[in-house]
Amino acid sequence: MTYQFSDFISDDALARVNGKSGLHSRLPRVAYTDPGFQRLEYERWLDKTWLFVGRGAAMPNPGDRITVPGHPYILVRNASGAINCFQNACRHRGVRLMDGGCQSGKTIVCPYHHWTYDLDGRLLGAPHFGGYNVQDAPGFDKADRGLKPVRCAQWHDWIFINVDGKAPPIEEFVAPLAAKFPGVAFDKADHYLTIDLGQVDANWKIATENNAEPYHVPFVHKDTAAGQPLDGHYMVDDGPVLGCAVDVPGSTYTNKPGDNSLTNLDMSARYLLRTPNFFLTSYAPDKIIDSLILPDRRDPTKCWIQTAWYSTSGHPLTEREVETWRDLEQRVADEDSSIMAAAQDGLLCDVMDDGGALSPAWEACLIAFYRELTTALRK
Ligand code: FES
């Protein structure tokens, strides 16, 4: 079945999203709950562009592989260090090859009947397929039975896939976002921390909204972000790049050897999304943070969230410094996770069919997000 945008969003609802009567609204609740709408998101947008799906730091050595959270794909670092993406299905009877975590080894072995693949997806062996101790069989050619590749690219440590294979080069995709971080030494980005929230009880767009807007910060992160006052924030809306930023006068925070004085995010920051899902945050002067927010392909009321921290100072953090960051950021992440689940629960109420009302001061970046989304889905 092929869906159209108008199957889910009426002209009246779209007019509210577009602010035709003054205030802008979110999308109506069907956009956060309906599997058909999520399928439309993939067909019209997420499969046609670059989707941020993982990090090289999570699979540092040849032979390492990880799954893409919520998606039927695996990422594999091959013998020469390049990263491949494959559909997570054995070519015999389709069994899932991996289920989370990081595995390692020179070959990928299906757990069911031990068909074995190399790190570039070629089928090496199909034990007893043609008979006891016989692999060959009439019409069976191993060259035709390799893992199905998905277009994959890496920009610094960040890994992206493009399912339809037609998106422009990754450098072109990332360029508008990179331009918003002048002076950030991406080539020095050294991973030091990942916080994995796993599956979260919220649609991926609720998590995206929460990451982009500052309106909730003084309430949800009253203590953990006490040093980032709401009135220091401003909106960013520049085509496919949107979000917010905050300037904290005198902000010069940087880790010093042995420093564990970090108690809240009292520093200037930029929280920017390159749509659809590549979030980068800079904390002045030498930290860069990504947020990996992925839909759950099985359930539109869930998503998967990880966040990773990188230092660009050229100096590794001490264990004590890392633990200081972990303690603070885990608290921030838990605060966000709880409020996102509450936002999803509110969608059980039909009053949210009208999409609510967005603050023109603090949620203009969300208006920009819906503009990007609705433009893509209506094509
Ligand atoms: Fe993988 Fe049979 S399904 S070897």
DSSP string, 304-343: EEEEEEEE-SSSPPPHHHHHHHHHHHHHHHHHHHHHHHHH
What span, in angstroms and rounded, lies between the C-alpha atoms of 168 and 161?
12
Report the distance separating Cα 232 and Cα 212, nearest Å: 15
- For residue 207, how far is its CA from the centre of ligand 1 (angstroms)? 36
Contact 62, 81 (CB under 8 A): yes
Ligand 1, atom 4, residue with closest C-alpha: 113
Spatial separation of the C-alpha atoms in residues 37 and 49, rounded to whole Å: 17
Report the separation in Å between the CA atom of 105 and the middle of ligand 1, taken as the mean of its atom positions: 18
Q: CA separation (Å) from 151 to 67, 144, 170, 207, 294? A: 15, 19, 11, 26, 17
Residues written for the chain: 379
The number of the ligand 1 atom at minimal distance from the alpha carbon of 113 is: 4
Nearest atom (ligand 1) to Cα of 126:
4
Question: Which of 90, 99, 117 should be mutated for ligand 1, with most atoms under 8 A from CB?
Answer: 90
Spacing, Cα 92 to ligand 1 middle (Å) = 5
Strands 278-283 and 149-155: unpaired
Ligand 1 neighbours by CB, cut-off 6 Å: 90, 92-93, 95, 110, 112-115
Beta strands in the chain (DSSP E): 51-55, 65-67, 73-77, 83-87, 102-103, 108-109, 116-117, 123-125, 149-155, 158-162, 190-200, 233-238, 241-246, 269-274, 278-283, 287-295, 303-311
Phi, psi (degrees; rounded to nearest 5) at 338: -65, -45
pLDDT in tens, the chain (379 residues): 789 999 999 999 999 999 998 999 999 999 999 999 999 999 999 999 999 999 999 999 999 999 999 999 999 999 999 999 999 999 999 999 999 889 999 999 999 999 999 999 999 999 999 999 999 999 999 999 999 999 999 999 999 999 999 999 999 999 999 999 988 999 999 999 999 999 999 999 999 999 999 999 889 998 887 667 788 888 999 999 999 988 776 655 554 444 555 556 666 788 999 999 999 998 767 889 999 999 999 999 999 999 999 999 888 888 888 888 898 889 999 999 999 999 999 999 999 999 999 999 999 999 999 999 999 999 8
Largest CA distance in the chain: 74
Residue 109: φ, ψ to 5°: -115, 125
- Residue 318's pLDDT is what? 87
Å from CA of 122 to ligand 1 middle: 14
144 CA → ligand 1 middle, Å: 15
Contact between 225 and 283 (Cβ < 8 Å): no
- Ligand 1 atom with the shortest distance to the CA of 114: 4
How many Å lie between the centroid of ligand 1 and the Cα of residue 76? 19
Regarding beta strands 65-67 and 73-77, do their DSSP bridges make them parallel or antiparallel, or are they unpaired?
antiparallel
CA of 146 to the centre of ligand 1 (A): 12
Measured in Å, residue 115 CA sits from the centre of ligand 1 at: 6
Residue among 96, 97, 110 to mutate when testing ligand 1 (max atoms within 8 A of CB): 110
Q: Report the atom number in ligand 1 closest to the C-alpha of 110.
A: 1
Residue nearest atom 3 in ligand 1 by C-alpha distance:
93
pTM for this structure? 0.94
Query: Would you state the pLDDT for residue 379?
Result: 86
Ligand 1 centroid to Cα of residue 95, in Å, is 6
CA 299/CA 286 separation, integer angstroms = 37
H-helix or E-strand spanning residue 222: none
Residue nearest ligand 1's atom 2 by CA:
113
pLDDT at position 153, please? 98
Structure tokens at 165: 């294979």
What number does the ligand 1 atom closest to the CA of 94 have?
Answer: 3
How many angstroms is it from 96 CA to the middle of ligand 1? 9
Phi-psi region of 256 (alpha: psi -120 to 50; beta: other; left: phi over 0): beta
